[in-house]
Copies of this chain bind each other. A is one copy, B any other.
């Protein structure tokens, strides 16, 4: 186990409630007043999560959108967000982008903290939502026989990142301004056996879902919709930031929204993942781990 992994494991050891799924993992669900509250926190660091010089309006958008995507995967409707804001250059752009994304999804800023510091600058965001269906979906419920689905294509964020990095004319919106699938998550929540959003790469996140559920997920990569040239399919399957929803359904059930069946859950058989029938190579990171 790497040093970082051991620290994360130690932090998870402190997460001592049944509701808690630990750090850098599922959103937390707590019961209060007969409601299920969903809580998620993401941090973004300059030079790690965004390109130096990138418009902070886009950074603010993505910070909020990534957290709302975690709520979407729980079928939750947003109640509000709290912001940890590090003051610095181009603050006005951050405020502009924050206002845009909060207005787009009708989410209030409830509070937070402003601090001095950096570079590198760090922003943190906590999103709070209300589950619209119980039990609240999580990544642990996939069962052998379930079918595996994805709401839409992956790869667009990868191309958007490259366009932004290289200064080309290609559209970078998918990387800069991802769209959390809130209404899709609410529609799916009553039906799915397991659900999560794809933030770190389809294959990596699928393995996490498989591990949490104790099954093997067999993925047919040709069935995965991608928004990238065909020769980049393998990369698109490993790139994050597309924020699609990945979910399993009991066999014969159909999703109530457009989605693509990309595989199925089988009894665990040595490897959490089968990619076109083959276990991934030990040195395949499957995605972006940060």
The answer to whether A82 touches B11 (Cβ under 8 A) is no
The answer to whether A83 touches B113 (Cβ under 8 A) is no
> Among the listed B20, B35, B124, which residue makes an inter-chain contact with A33, where contact means beta carbons less than 8 Å apart?
B35
The answer to whether B30 touches A117 (Cβ under 8 A) is no
User: Cα distance A92–B11 when bound, in Å?
Assistant: 10
The answer to whether B113 touches A43 (Cβ under 8 A) is yes
User: Cα distance A33–B34 when bound, in Å?
Assistant: 6
Q: How many copies does the complex hold?
A: 2
A34 to chain B: closest residue by CB:
B33
The answer to whether A83 touches B33 (Cβ under 8 A) is no
User: Cα distance A257–B162 when bound, in Å?
Assistant: 61
Q: For the complex formed, measure the closest distance between the CB of A182 and the CB atoms of chain B, giving whole angstroms.
A: 18
Q: For the complex formed, measure the closest distance between the CB of A76 and the CB atoms of chain B, giving whole angstroms.
A: 12
Interface string of A202-214 (1 = CB under 8 A from B): 0000000000000
The answer to whether B11 touches A118 (Cβ under 8 A) is no
The answer to whether B108 touches A8 (Cβ under 8 A) is no
The answer to whether B116 touches A30 (Cβ under 8 A) is no
The contact size tier of chain A is: 35 or more
Q: Which of A1-41 contact B (CB under 8 A)?
A: 3-4, 7-8, 10-11, 14-17, 19-28, 30, 32-35, 37, 39-41
> Among the listed B14, B20, B91, which residue makes an inter-chain contact with A95, where contact means beta carbons less than 8 Å apart?
B14
The answer to whether A115 touches B49 (Cβ under 8 A) is yes
Q: For the complex formed, measure the closest distance between the CB of A196 and the CB atoms of chain B, giving whole angstroms.
A: 14
Q: For the complex formed, measure the closest distance between the CB of A89 and the CB atoms of chain B, giving whole angstroms.
A: 10
The answer to whether B43 touches A115 (Cβ under 8 A) is yes
User: Cα distance A45–B8 when bound, in Å?
Assistant: 20
Q: For the complex formed, measure the closest distance between the CB of A215 and the CB atoms of chain B, giving whole angstroms.
A: 23
Q: For the complex formed, measure the closest distance between the CB of A55 and the CB atoms of chain B, giving whole angstroms.
A: 16
Q: Does A222 contact B (CB under 8 A)?
A: no
User: Cα distance A111–B128 when bound, in Å?
Assistant: 13
User: Cα distance A242–B135 when bound, in Å?
Assistant: 43
